[in-house]
């Protein structure tokens, strides 16, 4: 989510430290995704001090049947950098979606989004990613 390994490691360490302190005090939260939400909020706080991208219209293409194979051609870092540039909550939704570890209900819970907002974030983000993939791999969308 941060696009910076050093910051990501700091957030990871801070989140684990908080969990360890709570465990030592016997007050671990009962919420199943507390750890993920805590890490997300720390990421958002850490990114507030960074330069923020200007709001602009990003080209979108319909998600193509070849999208999965295009994504597989990417290095994980390329996808991570692309996702980290998205504004939140779209960044959170896309990161959780492309981790491929959570179902939609779990993403809703972790990201603290309503279904309509999650749907909008994923739909728009996937169309924007498709436009970027088309430009990166072919120079133009296939018709």
- Are residue 116 and residue 100 in the same domain, yes or no? yes
Last residue in a domain, options 36, 52, 68: 52
**More confidently predicted of 12 and 52:** 12
- Are residue 79 and residue 105 in the same domain, yes or no? yes
- Are residue 11 and residue 35 in the same domain, yes or no? yes
Question: In this model, does residue 137 exceed pLDDT 80?
Answer: no
The predicted pLDDT at position 128 comes to 92
Q: Looking at the 3D structure of the chain, how many domains does it have?
A: 2
- Are residue 20 and residue 61 in the same domain, yes or no? no
* pLDDT tens sequence across 35-86: 788 888 787 777 776 655 555 677 889 998 988 888 888 888 888 888 888 8
- Are residue 133 and residue 68 in the same domain, yes or no? yes
Count of residues making up the chain: 143
Question: In this model, does residue 33 exceed pLDDT 90?
Answer: no
Question: In this model, does residue 143 exceed pLDDT 50?
Answer: no
| Domain span including residue 118 | 56-143
Angle at 14 between CA 90 and CA 100, to 5 degrees: 40
- Are residue 7 and residue 35 in the same domain, yes or no? yes
* Gap between the Cα atoms of 5 and 10, Å rounded: 9
The predicted pLDDT at position 50 comes to 61
- Are residue 29 and residue 75 in the same domain, yes or no? no
Report the percent of the chain where pLDDT is more than 70. 86
Contacts of 40 (CB under 8 A, 6+ apart): 1, 92, 110, 111
The predicted pLDDT at position 124 comes to 92
**In the predicted model, what is the mean pLDDT of residues 15-31?**
81
Task: Encode the chain in three state secondary structure.
Answer: CCCCHHHHHHHHHHHHHHHHHHHHCCCCCCCCCHHHHHHHHHHHHHHHCCCCCCCCCCCCCCCCCCHHHHHHCCCHHHHHHHHHCCCCCHHHHHHHHHHCCCCHHHHHHHHCCCHHHHHHHHHHHHHHHHHHHHHHHCCCCCC
Model confidence, pTM: 0.61
């Amino acid at each position: 989510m941060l696009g910076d390994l050093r910051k990501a490691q700091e957030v990871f360490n801070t989140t684990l430290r908080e969990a360890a302190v709570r465990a030592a005090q016997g007050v671990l939260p009962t919420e199943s995704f507390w750890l993920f939400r805590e890490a997300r909020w720390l990421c958002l706080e850490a990114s507030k001090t960074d330069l923020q991208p200007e709001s602009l219209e990003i080209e979108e293409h319909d998600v193509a049947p070849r999208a999965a194979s295009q994504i597989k051609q990417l290095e994980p870092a390329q996808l991570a950098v692309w996702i980290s540039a998205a504004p939140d909550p779209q960044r959170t939704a896309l990161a959780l979606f492309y981790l491929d570890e959570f179902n939609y209900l779990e993403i809703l819970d972790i990201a603290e989004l309503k279904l309509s907002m999650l749907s909008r974030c994923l739909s728009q983000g996937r169309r924007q990613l498709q436009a970027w993939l088309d430009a990166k791999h072919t120079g133009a969308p296939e018709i």
